[in-house]
Structure 1
Amino acid sequence: MVDRRQILWLVAGAVLFAALPAVFGNYGLYLGSGLCVWIIFALAYDLAYGRTGLLSFGHAMFFGIGAYAPALLAMHFGWGFWPGIAAAIVLSGVFAILIGNIALRVTGHAFVVITVIFSAILELLAFSQRRITNGEDGVSVDITKVPLGFTELDLHDPYVKYWLLIAFLLLTFLLLNWINNSTLGLAFRAVRENAKRAMLLGYPVHRYKLAAFSISGALSGLAGALFGLLNFHVSAETFQITVSINPLTSVLVGGAGTMLGPVIGTTFIFLLSDYLRSLVVYADFAIGVILVLTVLFSPSGLVGLIEQYKARRRARSRDAGETPP
């Protein structure tokens, strides 16, 4: 369930997103739309890494599958928005199950390497299969209408697209919050804290890891699909390792294993990258430095710093309220 504090954060976030286009116009639409996509990706990634400890450098494969699925199905079979979104989620989830069954047989560095290898294979296929994917030129996403009962939305309208992305972000947040507070979420945490102990207690550890990895992959596919629809174009670059590093960086900086961590981390990294976008080398360097400092001095991320600050304030309040003997 969503507690009172999270409801306040959701309301504050909704107000902030609503204010972006009102205050900054088209630039606000660009910022808000991009944030929606990358926050969904970070939330999805955190389910695997933050909740079950599965460090993956290959989540771009699910993002890329999700990006290509609606585009290719629209181009070759004339599929529309909702079938394309459904296909992106299902195909990414099924692929995550297949890869998970292979990668989860090993742990540590070997798991990381396997995820990277499969992502690289898909990137190579996207480049080489020109008949299907147009190779390095990529594919235009020919989906412009969103059927809604007796009406339809036009994706060429940036405001329509913006609020649609916000709706998907809200649904993703609520879904993951429900999962994390369910019995399944408790099992994920038990596996993350001590997999061997969880196994001794009777938890089917492999099955829970596979479930987290698969759901994470499916929602990463949703993020990829929305990315393609946002830009009306997808390319093989969606499979690159830098795309996999984006959510990992956001989760580490914001705070792994929390609902707000991926949101705060993504917002911070996205705004910093946009501010330094004309200085690509400096942007990457700055993000790298921030990531190292976070790992060294605040492993729990920005959310952890906020919690520590609040704990110190509460401690000072208690001390101030004590009556001297």
Structure 2
Amino acid sequence: MLARCVSWMFLAISFSLAYSYANIPSVAQATVFGAGAYAAVWATSLVGGNMILIMTAGAAAGALIALVFGALLLKMSHSGAAIGTIISAVTFSMLGNAAVAYTGGTDGLPMPAQAFHLLGMPFAVGPNIGMLLLGSAVLAALLVAFWLFSGTRTWRVVRAVQQNAMRAQVLGYNAAGYRLAVFAVSGCVAGLGGALYALISRHVAIEVVSLSMSLKSILWAAVGGVTSIYGGPIGVLAVQLASELLLRWTVRVDLIIGLMLIAVALWMPRGVMGLRRPRSSQQSQ
């Protein structure tokens, strides 16, 4: 369960990137996540058990689909993009159910039996401690990379575009280009998470591209703090831990989690990350 939670953290991060930094309210991030998962399964049949290539295939598939989505969504209004991604999520889910030969439909596709290896060393895939450590290491590397990138001039331009795209355009920056690039990165992150999910589960069903999965990514990001890249992982841990605890007392977990989301939206709009006091206020006290 923990290993799968790590893969879902990539999905939550991808929504935060798309919504807060590309200014695209994508309700189809699970479609990109699922594309990465299926790409990993298909790639395994082609490249064998090379896990680096498998994860690269998932990340590349996610980035490519996000580029296509993004090019279309940037031509729409904010609300239009949200509606467009909902339609896309439902459409791709229906197509996946129809294309049983390629996706396995509701039964899904098993990960091909291979001798998996990482950097030349044998590696056991599945819901085990090894995959938990691998996923955690990749996640940590990703978060460190974002932290380092946040101090660069390019990131400052991204934030300027996020805050006021028209003003950034007047100052000579290609606002649409920066937004598309950030959305492509969000797709890459989702695709990488999907590839890890496929390696952990050793099976991919069409439900991973469903609208409900996309809504879960929004829930995770909202609880952790949608305006922070680091909020997604916190949200996944908080929601999944709450779900596991609630299952011991009631079967109406979805109802309670829904009420939790309403409470977060009303009283904690910035999520758990919003509970941190600004550094300036800490220094003044």
Asked if TM exceeds 0.5, the reply is: yes
Letter in 2 for 1:132: Y
In 2, the alpha carbon distance for the partners of 1:271 and 1:165 equals: 18
5+ residue gaps, structure 2, are none
Partner of 2:48: 79
Partner of 1:166: 136
Matches within 5 A, 1:80-159: 80=49, 81-142=51-112, 145-155=115-125, 158-159=128-129
Q: 1:60 aligns with which of 18, 21, 30?
A: 30
In 1, the alpha carbon distance for the partners of 2:36 and 2:236 equals: 20
Q: 1:245 aligns with which of 207, 211, 215?
A: 215
Shift of the 211–280 alpha-carbon distance from structure 1 to 2, 3 Å rule, reads farther
Shift of the 255–313 alpha-carbon distance from structure 1 to 2, 3 Å rule, reads same
In 1, the alpha carbon distance for the partners of 2:130 and 2:146 equals: 25
SS of equivalent residue, structure 1 residue 307: coil
**Who wins on radius of gyration, i.e. which is larger?**
1
In 2, the alpha carbon distance for the partners of 1:254 and 1:195 equals: 26
Q: Are 1:66 and 1:224, in contact at CA under 8 Å, matched by a contact in 2?
A: yes
In 2, the alpha carbon distance for the partners of 1:156 and 1:245 equals: 25
Q: Are 2:17 and 2:186, in contact at CA under 8 Å, matched by a contact in 1?
A: yes
Letter in 2 for 1:246: K
Deviation at 1:93, TM superposition (A): 0.6
Shift of the 251–94 alpha-carbon distance from structure 1 to 2, 3 Å rule, reads same
Shift of the 182–279 alpha-carbon distance from structure 1 to 2, 3 Å rule, reads farther
Aligned-residue sequence identity (percent) comes to 26
SS of equivalent residue, structure 2 residue 75: coil
In 2, the alpha carbon distance for the partners of 1:287 and 1:192 equals: 30
Partner of 1:218: 188
Q: Are 1:177 and 1:259, in contact at CA under 8 Å, matched by a contact in 2?
A: no
SS of equivalent residue, structure 2 residue 77: coil
Deviation at 1:106, TM superposition (A): 0.8
In 2, the alpha carbon distance for the partners of 1:304 and 1:147 equals: 41
Shift of the 184–285 alpha-carbon distance from structure 1 to 2, 3 Å rule, reads farther
Q: Are 1:70 and 1:79, in contact at CA under 8 Å, matched by a contact in 2?
A: no
Deviation at 1:204, TM superposition (A): 0.9
In 2, the alpha carbon distance for the partners of 1:161 and 1:50 equals: 30
Shift of the 178–56 alpha-carbon distance from structure 1 to 2, 3 Å rule, reads same
Q: Are 1:65 and 1:224, in contact at CA under 8 Å, matched by a contact in 2?
A: yes
In 1, the alpha carbon distance for the partners of 2:85 and 2:29 equals: 7
The size of the alignment, in residue pairs, is 284
Shift of the 219–298 alpha-carbon distance from structure 1 to 2, 3 Å rule, reads same
More helix by share: 1
Deviation at 1:191, TM superposition (A): 1.7
Letter in 2 for 1:148: L
Matched, 1:271 2:241: yes
Q: Are 2:22 and 2:180, in contact at CA under 8 Å, matched by a contact in 1?
A: no
Shift of the 298–235 alpha-carbon distance from structure 1 to 2, 3 Å rule, reads same
In 2, the alpha carbon distance for the partners of 1:262 and 1:51 equals: 14
SS of equivalent residue, structure 1 residue 137: coil
In 1, the alpha carbon distance for the partners of 2:143 and 2:242 equals: 23
In 1, the alpha carbon distance for the partners of 2:249 and 2:88 equals: 31
Partner of 1:261: 231
5+ residue gaps, structure 1, are 1-29, 319-325
Partner of 1:290: 260
In 1, the alpha carbon distance for the partners of 2:113 and 2:201 equals: 11
In 2, the alpha carbon distance for the partners of 1:249 and 1:280 equals: 20
Shift of the 282–146 alpha-carbon distance from structure 1 to 2, 3 Å rule, reads same
- More deviation, 230-239/263-272: 263-272
TM normalised by structure 2 equals: 0.90
